[in-house]
Amino acid sequence: MLSQIFYLLRSRADGKYLSACPNPDTVANFLLIFREDYDALSYLNNHAADVANRFGVESISGQDIKQLLERWGFQGVGIVQDPLLPNVEFLLTNT
């Protein structure tokens, strides 16, 4: 995972990254990451087409994800396996 490149969706309005909270009873927030840039765009077009133009796709190396999680206060990542369903695998970080 460390040598891979991942793709993130970031708001052009406020600079925040697209995230998910899989359990509404907790405050755990997970950064959504995609394996391909076109997967990120497919996710937007399928689930948020009306606001897709408000987001940009950014790339990040696997090595830099931990720093980003710490800086933004995410508890882990949600790796989007299939952007159309969506099928997301949530992973907690070790802090």
Q: Where are the domains of the chain?
A: 5-92
For 40-60, what is each residue's pLDDT tens digit? Answer: 999 999 999 999 999 999 999
Three-state SS for 70? Answer: helix
Residues 6 or more apart in contact with residue 50 via CB below 8 angstroms: none
pLDDT surpasses 60 at 95: no
> For 92, which DSSP code?
E
Q: How far apart are CA 14 and CA 32, in angstroms?
A: 17
The structure tokens 């009873």 sit at: 25
- Are the C-beta atoms of residues 39 and 83 closer than 8 Å to each other? yes
- pLDDT exceeding 90 applies to what percent of the chain? 81
**Confidence band for 78, pLDDT divided at 50, 70 and 90:** very high
pLDDT at 68: 96
Q: pLDDT tens across 23-42, in order? A: 888 888 999 999 999 999 99
